[in-house]
Amino acid sequence: MEITSGTISTDYIVIGSGVAGLRAAIELSRAGKVLVITKDRATESSTEYAQGGVAVALSDEDEIGFHLKDTLAAGDGLCNEENVRILVTEGPERIRELISWGAQFDREGGGIKLAFTREAAHSRRRILHANGDSTGREIERALLAKVRAAANIKKYDYSITIDLIVNDGRAEGALVWREREKKLTAIYARAVVLATGGLGQIFQRTTNPEVATGDGFAIAYRAGAALTDMEFVQFHPTSLYVPRAPQFLLSEAMRGEGALLVNVRGERFMPGYHPRAELAPRDVVSRAIVSEMLKTRSEHVYLDLRHLDAGFVRNRFPRIYSTCLKFDIDITEEMIPVSPAAHYMMGGVWTDRDGGTDMPGLYAAGEVACTGVHGANRLASNSLLEGIVFGARAGIAAAAYGLRRPAPRKEAIACKAADAPKDDLLKVRSQLRRLMWGDVGIIRSGESLGRAIDTIDGWREFRDSGPLSRPWLEIRNMLTVGELISKAALARKGSVGAHYRTDYKTRGRGWERHIRFKRD
């Protein structure tokens, strides 16, 4: 394969084109030229698949203090309260701003008032939604329109970031593989914002899109930035369970509107696990479902909406309704087979309240970042709000940093790569996903975590070198992230939030600590 290489420069780089990356790019464009790098098409991110909505204290029955309290409670004692306060306080203004940019949220009362729904662990109806169950897609549409109208923003689609360019401990750009052009490009910039999204694809069952292979986590780790709380992976309780079908997310809002969970014997079970039943925190619901599956020796439970008005269900959840029909399930007449799936990473690249990492020049926002607002267990529908609020803050801070810095000196950079059969890479990817689901999933133990660490270490050759291609770059990152999650989970000898160990069922000593990793 013939590979060409070159160097270019810009003022700012944003890696990722979900809600956090786009919001950061908008702020950065006020200070200079911005290059948005994404490894697939611009709209392919977890944002596009976010159904339920965005949580914000804007309804008549709600207050910022209630939103703060609910978020802290869901985080199970490990939230950064200062950053949670920023999230819930700045959230309303950021959503009003988004509406002024053209975002169309669902309304009621003849189109006069915004319509709100309720989701698990929320004490009020505060979830804004769009087109019933396509909220992320609508927010992304509005942000992309704003980005396309900005003359200072340029996009590189189908471009995979290999590593950050670091000089004297500062992030000064990114080494990028432009897949379609077969071109290796060193891109220099005054500051870099990492907004690559999540890592769900390292698990066999996930609601995340195929691009969510943990790239940003691994890239930051290799560069020398600190990562924290990597043991806290959230598993969504209800994803569609149909053999050989995608693990399509069935929104939390369905339970918020009255859907019930029953086991394969037709028995409703959540009241026996938590006082809030179906509206209990996600980690509680996920473990309850696993317990019922073990008890009934089944591979799923059911989500039941049959008691709700059929017309309401079709109008409220049009995307879910049509998707389930493709698999011959009419959700107004039949129960939906569901089981948990990896959904969201609460931990990530450590950042301060402005998205700054411990590496000068590197900022992070969205799911790849750990601001501490989610603690040990994210409150439903806070993720889109975090991306909007902290994406803007990261953009503002990175712009200010860049204006103080001279343009970095450009140098050609090589990438170490070697040949490896594609079939081997695909096999390791499949084995890793099964390993992470079985040994580092919803229920863990010291034995299973140790086994996972040893197995991943045996695949070291696939992480050290491989062919310059998307399959190798992704498996390289997935192995790094899988190891970090496993080691963090082994280090936390206790059960908190989404992290549950059968050999340490209580919180354990020193549970308030945050486990941080840095290379070497």
One domain, residues 56 and 119: yes
Claim to verify: residue 39 and residue 154 sit in the same structural domain: yes
DSSP single-letter state for residue 112? T
Q: Based on the fold, state whether residues 193 and 247 are members of the same structural domain.
A: no
CB 41 within 8 A of CB 219: no
394 with 427, same domain: the answer is: no
Predicted local distance difference test score (pLDDT) of residue 1: 47
Please tell me the total count of domains within the chain.
3
Tell whether 26 and 168 lie within a shared domain.
Answer: yes
Residues 173 and 302 reside in one and the same domain: no
Contacts of 381 (CB under 8 A, 6+ apart): 52, 53, 54, 55, 119, 122, 127, 252
511 and 376, same domain (yes or no): no
Residue that terminates a domain, selected from 404, 430, 453? 404
Give me the residue label for tokens 């695949």.
459
Residues 181 and 158: their CA atoms lie apart, in Å, by 9
Q: Are residues 247 and 286 both part of a single domain?
A: yes
Residue 231 to residues 91, 253, 471, Cα–Cα distance (Å): 27, 26, 25
Give a yes or no: residue 297 inside a domain.
yes
Q: In the annotation, is 319 catalytic?
A: no
pLDDT at 180: 87
- CATH classification at residue 319: 3.90.700.10
Mean pLDDT value across the chain: 93
What confidence tens digit (pLDDT) does each residue in 267-291 have?
A: 999 999 999 999 988 889 999 999 9
Name every residue whose Cβ is closer than 8 Å to that of residue 513 and which is 6 or more positions away in sequence.
none
pLDDT value at 390 more than 80: yes
Confirm if 108 and 134 have CB atoms less than 8 A apart: no
> How many other C-beta atoms lie within 10 A of the C-beta of residue 494?
16
pLDDT in tens, 411-461: 877 666 665 556 789 999 999 999 999 999 999 999 999 999 999 999 998
Could you give the CA distance from residue 440 to residue 454 in angstroms, rounded to a whole number? Answer: 13
Indicate if 36 and 170 belong to the same structural domain.
yes
Domain containing residue 274 = 240-340
- What mean pLDDT do residues 109-114 have? 84
Do both 32 and 141 map to the same domain? Answer: yes
Is the pLDDT at 139 greater than 60? The verdict is: yes
Residue 158 and residue 191 in one domain = yes
Average pLDDT value for residue range 298-323: 95
The answer to whether the pTM exceeds 0.85 is yes
The domain that holds 10 is classified in CATH as 3.50.50.60
Give me the pLDDT at residue 40, please: 86
Closest CA to 31 of 455, 404, 501, 441: 404
Q: When comparing pLDDT for 40 and 260, which is higher? A: 260
**Residue 45 confidence (pLDDT):** 56
Q: What is the pLDDT of residues 51-96, one digit of tens each?
A: 568 999 999 999 999 999 999 999 999 999 999 999 999 999 999 9
433: domain CATH number is: 1.20.58.100
Which residue among 126, 170, 190, 282 is the active-site one? 282
Provide φ and ψ at 111, rounded to 5°: 85, 10
The reported pLDDT for the residue numbered 400 is: 98
In a domain, 326, yes or no: yes
